[in-house]
Amino acid sequence: MLRRPPVDGQGRLAARNGYSSSIQLFLSVKNREIAKILYDMAELLELKGENRFKIIAYSKAARAIESLKEDIEDVWRQGELKAIPGVGKAIADKVREYLETGQIQSYQILVAETPPGLTELLQVQGMGPKTVALLHDKLGVTNIDQLEQAALQHRIRRLPRMGATREANILKSIDRYRRRSTRIPLYVAKPIVDQILDYLGQIPGLEHITVAGSFRRGRETVGDIDILATSSSPEAVIGAFVQMPSVEEVLGQGPTKASVIVKETVQVDLRIVDHRSYGTVIQYFTGSKEHNVKLRGLALQRGYSLSEYSLKRVATGEELYFDREEDVYARLGLPYIPPELREDRGEIEAALAGKLPRLVELQDIKGDLHVHSAWSDGLGSLEELASAAQGLGYQYLGLCDHSPSVGIAGGLSEERLQEKIAAVEKFNQGQDGFRMLAGTEVDIKADGSLDYPDRILESCDLVVASIHMAQNQTEREINGRLISAIENEHVDIIAHPTGRLIGRRDPYDVDLQAVLEAARGTGTIMEINAHPNRLDLDDHWSRVAKDMGVPVAINTDSHAPDQLRLMSYGIRVARRGWLEAGEVVNTRPLTDLLPLLDR
């Protein structure tokens, strides 16, 4: 996601409540944490109807700490906390308490005394502390559901300073909040990201641009989209960003930061940052939080303090800046850790031991072993599918149309399957350097038997087995069906092993550990289904399969030629599962794959 147009830019952080141009982008972690707590305390105090001067004091101190160029821990050690504008003795004591103990007792008390739903109400656009307090006092509103009911019953409009228009806007904000409260699938986020990068890539003065966060780590769902950039003309880039055609609402805009809502009610944040710190900024905002905590701990062991701004020598206070992420890791004595691994699942320990995997890449794939055609419920002919596959540099394609039980998907009778096999054999006669494998996706029926007899399966080049019917059976029944298929000598691959559809259908009730143990015993291949609705196996079970020595294939389950490009989603899952090319069977050339299928 890294692009390089021309020269140099400087980034600053927008203030939490107003995108102030005077606030520096590069806060230490502690500065940010303390500022957030003080902002929260101001809001909670306002909810309680406390003295407004006290509320203003907390907000002022939060802004001062947020804009502080120095690390607040350094200021504390020097005994200079009260020299920070707006920080008097009472707030200085709270800051000291946090730095010494990791918490502020008075803040904990405030949180405990406030109904939990009220703090969530503050996240709804247009609901400030005064409005929340008014609705709580006058209507007894303590959560979003009650807020919605009050609006629907037209009780809000009767309150002072509210009215019908404000009531209608509250209902719109509730709807937007609920839709934004759920993470969106990676495949929904990707075209949004691609569109934004293409749009901003045309803006003069843009130097680098990278998407960070869970998107960059390849998680199957993402929250807000974080984009980082450097530019010699930050305000021009920000201006173009907020005026993109896809923008539905501008949440905030400053000289170096903006937040917008785009289609699918996704929040996108753009930060223009200082080029010299680009490497540390990317590393920090990519996450995960757990990885960053572990990395900061390692830095401290080696005499450094790591922030998104720089790497500081603790002994001398010297700050080291890095415009490349790789150099941050190298300075800490580590090889570069790919973003997909940064979940604190042993990646730092593996890096220290020189045992990081060489992760599989898209260009390693030599073919796709689970594809549907116009013979069943797909759209592509043999010629069209072969052309698309060869365009991707593939050597083979596994044509695995449905079996009879999946009638709604045009499952093939035994006779039709034999016709297809004959058609594939004829097609292959005219091919040089490419082979279509005549296969089937045979259904594992409710009683554990397969939808074709062994004599039919034996005639196939490739047999993929999967469950489509009776998915609500008990764990024992589902396990029995999958393991029965695994133990069939003709079955090569178990497809989408848990049956989940992300955000739409939960996995079967299945003991995957037992299923993987059975697959290890027979050498049966387990599929990472790359279709973005499935991603099944997921990253966790892919890692388990790897550790158990179970062979894995990454397949797209394509139903049209252009869907072969979905392979990239499966690659992300495999990389998050620590898989190397040699552990994915369809990275093998055809000559090495065929003996595996003929085992």
- Residue 340: which CATH number? 3.30.210.10
Nearest of 388, 398, 338, 419 to residue 554 by alpha carbon: 398
Which pLDDT score, from 0 to 100, does residue 182 have? 65
Residues 224 and 343 in one domain: no
Which pLDDT score, from 0 to 100, does residue 379 have? 82
State the pLDDT confidence band at 406, using cuts at 50, 70 and 90.
confident
Residues 132 and 263 in one domain: no
| 5 located within any domain | no
Residues 173 and 243 in one domain: no
- Mean pLDDT score, 378-399: 95
Residues 148 and 200 in one domain: no
Residue 299 has pLDDT above 60, yes or no: yes
Which pLDDT score, from 0 to 100, does residue 29 have? 58
Residue 485 has pLDDT above 70, yes or no: yes
| Pairwise CA distance, residues 187 & 207, whole Å | 27
| 17 located within any domain | no
Nearest of 169, 346, 79 to residue 147 by alpha carbon: 169
Task: Express each pLDDT in 522-556 by its tens digit.
Answer: 999 999 999 999 999 999 999 999 999 999 999 99
Please provide the distance, in angstroms rounded to a whole number, between the alpha carbons at the two ends of the chain: 41
- Boundary-marking domain end, from 244, 273, 302: 273
Task: Express each pLDDT in 4-28 by its tens digit.
Answer: 232 222 222 222 222 222 223 334 5
Residues 219 and 243 in one domain: yes
Residues 397 and 494 in one domain: yes
| 22 located within any domain | no
Task: Express each pLDDT in 339-352 by its tens digit.
Answer: 999 999 999 999 99
- Boundary-marking domain end, from 126, 153, 181: 181
C-alpha distances in angstroms, 573 versus 74, 149, 345, 424, 583?
Answer: 42, 42, 15, 31, 13
Lowest average pLDDT, out of 50-54, 138-142, 452-456, goes to: 50-54
| 336 located within any domain | yes
- Boundary-marking domain end, from 352, 379, 412: 352
- For residue 316, the Cα-to-chain-centroid distance in whole angstroms is 38
State the pLDDT confidence band at 264, using cuts at 50, 70 and 90.
low
Which residue did the predictor score with more confidence, 321 or 223?
321
- Mean pLDDT score, 400-420: 90
Residues 136 and 269 in one domain: no
Which pLDDT score, from 0 to 100, does residue 9 have? 28
Residues 265 and 303 in one domain: no
Residue 135 in tokens: 């609705």
Residue 76 has pLDDT above 80, yes or no: yes
What letter represents residue 3's amino acid?
R
- Residue 126: which CATH number? 1.10.150.110
- Mean pLDDT score, 491-513: 91
Residues 55 and 147 in one domain: yes
Which pLDDT score, from 0 to 100, does residue 127 have? 83
Q: Looking at the 3D structure of the chain, how many domains does it have?
A: 4
Residues 366 and 317 in one domain: no
| 234 located within any domain | yes
Residue 230 has pLDDT above 90, yes or no: yes
Residues 534 and 484 in one domain: yes
- Residue 538: which CATH number? 3.20.20.140
Cβ(511)–Cβ(475) below 8 Å = yes
| 139 located within any domain | yes
Residues 417 and 490 in one domain: yes
Structural domain containing residue 341: 277-352
| 263 located within any domain | yes
Residue 62 has pLDDT above 50, yes or no: yes
| Pairwise CA distance, residues 587 & 599, whole Å | 18
In the chain, % of residues over pLDDT 90: 68
Which pLDDT score, from 0 to 100, does residue 176 have? 74
Supply the mean pLDDT for the chain: 89
Matching residue, tokens 């003295």:
51
- Mean pLDDT score, 368-376: 95
